Amino acid sequence: MRILGIDPGYDRLGMAIVEGDASKPQVVWSGCAMPPKGEAQDRLAVVFDEISKAIKKHKPDRLAIETLFFNANVSTGIGVAQARGAVLASAGRAGIAVMEYSPQQVKIAVTGHGAADKGAVARMIPRLVSLSPRKRLDDELDAIAVAICSLADRYPQPRVKRIAKK
């Protein structure tokens, strides 16, 4: 199974391709899309294009994305929701099934504890998968965690129906 894991963001979007199964996940590729500051439609077009490129290049079986978590900053939440929309549109265009996971589900899958902090998740990732020695942003590590969570999902149910490409 090959999963495209996404940590949605408006300023930085974490992406990772993880394959195998929950007992032996392997990171094929990971990175961050960082749309340039500017108009929302231009930023979201970059998100759509980056996801489309990752799908075309790596041919994942499904896309896994973290559900939206609203904190006190509604403006940030709206931007992240828009970025999620661009990700979902790209997956829909490609006919890729989408699985959504809450932050707690991801934390449980990676650390075994749903209330773990971001640091605990980041420290656990290198214990679960072999990573090349380079610095990674939190968003990239979170995308790896989301993909690992999806590999551990025994009964995945697509949250978004596939649509035929026209």
Q: How many CA atoms lie within 13 A of 22 on its CB side?
A: 13
DSSP string spanning the chain?
Answer: -EEEEEE--SS-EEEEEEES-TTS-EEEEEEEE-PPSS-HHHHHHHHHHHHHHHHHHH--SEEEEEPP---S-HHHHHHHHHHHHHHHHHHHHHT-EEEEE-HHHHHHHHHS-TT--HHHHHHHHHHHS---SS---HHHHHHHHHHHHHHH-SS---SB------
Query: Which amino acid makes up residue 107?
Result: K
Closest CA to 152 of 100, 110, 91: 110
Q: Say which residue, 155 or 105, is predicted with more confidence.
A: 105
If you average pLDDT over residues 63-87, what whole number do you get? Answer: 85
Residue 91: CB partners within 8 Å, gap ≥ 6? 51, 55, 63, 97, 98, 160
Q: What is the pLDDT confidence band of residue 155, given thresholds at 50, 70 and 90?
A: confident
Q: Which fold has domain 2-152?
A: Nucleotidyltransferase; domain 5 (3.30.420)
According to the model, what pLDDT value does residue 66 have? 93
What are the extents of the domains in the chain? 2-152
According to the model, what pLDDT value does residue 164 have? 52
Closest CA to 17 of 7, 26, 4, 6: 4
- pTM of the predicted model as reported, rounded to 2 decimal places: 0.90
- Give the model confidence (pLDDT) of 98-146 as tens digits: 999 999 999 999 999 999 999 999 999 999 999 988 889 999 999 999 9
Six-digit token string for 25: 């996940």
Active site residues: 7, 66, 139
